[in-house]
Structure 1
Amino acid sequence: MAGWSCLVTGAGGFLGQRIIQLLVEEKGLQEVRALDRVFRPGLREEFSKLQSKVKLTLLEGDIQDEQFIKRACQGTSAVIHAASIIDVLNVIPREIMMNVNLKGTQILLEACAQASVPIFIYTSTIEVAGPNSYREVIQNACEEDHLETTWSAAYPYSKKLAERAVLAANGWALKDGGTLYTCALRPTYIYGEGSPFLRGFVDQALKNNGILPHNSKLSIANPVYVGNVAWAHILALRALRDPEKAPNIQGQFYYISDDTPHQSYDHLNYNLTKEWGFCLDSRMSLPIWLTYWLGFLLEMVSFLLSPFYRYRPPFNRHLVTMSNSVFTFSYKKAQRDLGYEPLFSWEKAKQKTTAWVGSLVGQRKAGLGTKTH
């Protein structure tokens, strides 16, 4: 398979960029096709610097455009499918979520079969496993526990069905007589420089005298650094290309975490921002059970108003459950089958993320300075 090529979808996203940066270092790789709906100008410049290492082709288009996807897959040796819409507040209409996350994945799988692409790696999420109740304690869960979300919210539901489609496609016959081999990676909550969630928390805190929003103090999660998730994708790709390792990986899914300490989401945000003077809100918060039922009432209001007005509740039961659960996972199976070891330590990940938070604070102060002069 000398002189191989790889297509990465969602290449302009938080995780996709990191996958591209690591992928261009792979041996024998001739071309990376980076696909996304649109690339911001700054990222185009960053990617152009990688051209010295490998041919990097930027493809702008819609994952639902069958002809575009067929052309993107033509002559490709592997696909890493990291594109999806993440929405925890049900802001995006359900139909769009299902079309992009599920239908887009199905279109891509069909295109791989037609273009005889033998390897397909899917970026899934732990949300396909739950949590289903904030009362349930799940610690160091593994793949053999067969956890599955019972939520019908568009994001976890669309990702669950898409992952199922990917794993069911393992063993498909390709047009050239070959076979399609697939696997899925389920990262825990991803943090790191560029995180849209962390950016949102920092923005909120900057508007509130440096006080971070606190709504997840009772959770215990094992967050994972974005660079380690990207590294797991590279190792999955190597393993599926290795005739000795591949049989153990085909049709499998893997939880991806790292050695970031298990902590609440609130404490993670605090640990990544405290160097810049941010602090946690010390005020009393409502009991979880009460917040949960308030979420239910807000969902009902949204539903009743839907024929006349699109009301977007500030939170819902699914978000309350996710944000307040004990829900952690082991990466031992990925360690065993993929040879996965985190590339970045917690200290390094924290250092890189904290420095990025500092740049956000600096931008904000510079912006305020501009306004006052």
Structure 2
Amino acid sequence: MALAGIRCLVTGAGGFLGRRIICQMLEEDQGPDEVRALDKAIGPETRRAFAKVKTKTLLTVIEGDIRDVASLQTAVQGITVVIHTACIIDTLGIVDKHTLWDVNVRGTQLLLESCLRNSVPYFIYTSSIEVTGPNSRGDPVYDGDEDTVYQSTQGFPYAENKKEAEKSVLEMDGLPLKDGSSFVTCALRSMYIYGEGSLFLQRHLDQSIQNNNIFLRISQKEALVNPAYVGNVAWAHVQAAKAMKDPEKVKRIRGQFYFISDDTPHVSYSDLNYELTKELGFGIQPKLAMPLMILYWYALLLEVVSFLLHPFVRYVPSINRHLVTLLNTPFSFSYRKAQRDFGYVPRYKWEEAKQQTSQWIAKITPLRTAYLKNKNS
């Protein structure tokens, strides 16, 4: 199934995932008639990435805020499929709760309303594994799927925001459009995404450089998860967009959510960092700096200190209980349902994903080393 004949809007176009989705769409032999790239700011690196792709597809770049109704009204006119990746990712509580909700939840709802007003037929939402968990008890899941029963006891703002936004998306499936058809929505719950350009991976790299090229162990070796390569998560979105042209597939995917993973080996978050860098000479701590239970109570102590200091100074701890649990709970899910319903199969094998990511790390390591040395001098 080709993308020819559709017009696609991608929000969060300047982000880690959004940019990759757009590049893959532009690379298609029978690509969309138009791709619109919407973001608050499209940086020079993103523009260069778009310019490198030889394509017959019209690319329209729109700089606008997801919370601005006028920008959304312009962006969705004449669009066939919206892929909504724009959000603020915050696992530490750095962003204030109002701003986080305003972008992640209200922004999504405003975009949905704009789609309904302008009879946009199809909507694909980039959700997150954190909508599912892990819960505060750290109950594990091994190779789960969309039918796995799991009691969520979250409460961390980012996870709750993504859950509420996904709910808004799926509840709007089936609403009538002006042409007599109905709105079709689905959500793709991605695992932790790694790959070239990952800010999270760069942050861990900086910490390891400052620790003599030894990664700090932040998750137990047995806390197995299944991270997904950015190229594969992007490809799942492209495949979902293609499926919107197939009436039989539309019947299956409408109103559904899907876990998006790939064939990356099941490892802990810390051991993924090591796997991607060991051939570059990096090492990793053999165990956590302190027993897991003590680390959990230490994180609680930091949260209490942050709360007590709040009237006087803003202090955001480098770790919290939610993050300790997230990083140390076995939590993995299969992509079988996405494969069955809309034909998703990972585009990149593990070895290729690892090679591409490692090459990027090798390229930026000297730059990060020099930057950190100057910063600390």
Q: TM-score, normalising length from structure 2?
A: 0.94
Give the match for residue 303 of structure 2.
299
Please give the secondary structure, in 1, of the residue aligned with 2:141: strand
1:144, 1:284 → 2: CA distance? Answer: 33
Which structure 2 residues correspond to residues 196-275 of structure 1 after superposition, within 5 A? Answer: 196-218=199-221, 219-275=223-279
Q: 1:140 to 1:4 in 2, by over 3 A?
A: same
Runs of 4 or more off by more than 6 Å in structure 1? 368-371
Percent identity for Structure 1 against Structure 2: 51
Give the match for residue 13 of structure 1.
15
1:368, 1:64 → 2: CA distance? Answer: 35
1:175: Cα distance to partner?
Answer: 3.2
1:52, 1:37 → 2: CA distance? Answer: 24
Give the match for residue 103 of structure 1.
106
Q: Is the contact between residue 172 and residue 179 of structure 1 (CA under 8 Å) also seen in structure 2?
A: yes
1:277: Cα distance to partner?
Answer: 1.1
Give the match for residue 285 of structure 1.
289
Tell me whether 1:132 sits opposite 2:135 in the alignment. yes
Tell me whether 1:354 sits opposite 2:346 in the alignment. no
Give the match for residue 189 of structure 2.
186
1:307: Cα distance to partner?
Answer: 2.3
1:239: Cα distance to partner?
Answer: 1.4
1:178: Cα distance to partner?
Answer: 2.5
Question: Which segment is superposed worse, 134-143 or 270-279?
Answer: 134-143
Give the match for residue 93 of structure 2.
90
Give the match for residue 156 of structure 1.
159
Q: Which runs of 5+ in 1 are unaligned?
A: none
1:225: Cα distance to partner?
Answer: 0.6
Q: Is the contact between residue 127 and residue 149 of structure 1 (CA under 8 Å) also seen in structure 2?
A: no
After superposition, the CA RMSD in angstroms is 1.9
1:290, 1:52 → 2: CA distance? Answer: 54
Give the match for residue 113 of structure 1.
116
Q: Which runs of 5+ in 2 are unaligned?
A: none
Give the match for residue 73 of structure 2.
70
2:176, 2:43 → 1: CA distance? Answer: 37
Please give the secondary structure, in 1, of the residue aligned with 2:143: strand
1:138, 1:28 → 2: CA distance? Answer: 38
Give the match for residue 176 of structure 1.
179
Tell me which amino acid in the other structure corresponds to 2:297: W
Q: Is the contact between residue 303 and residue 317 of structure 2 (CA under 8 Å) also seen in structure 1?
A: yes
Q: How many residues matched?
A: 371
Q: 1:148 to 1:8 in 2, by over 3 A?
A: farther
What's the CA shift string for 1:39-74, capped at 9, x where partnerless? 111221221333642110111111000111111101
1:54, 1:125 → 2: CA distance? Answer: 29
What's the CA shift string for 1:114-170, capped at 9, x where partnerless? 111000000000100000146422101110124363222110000000000000010
Question: Which segment is superposed worse, 2-11 or 318-327?
Answer: 2-11
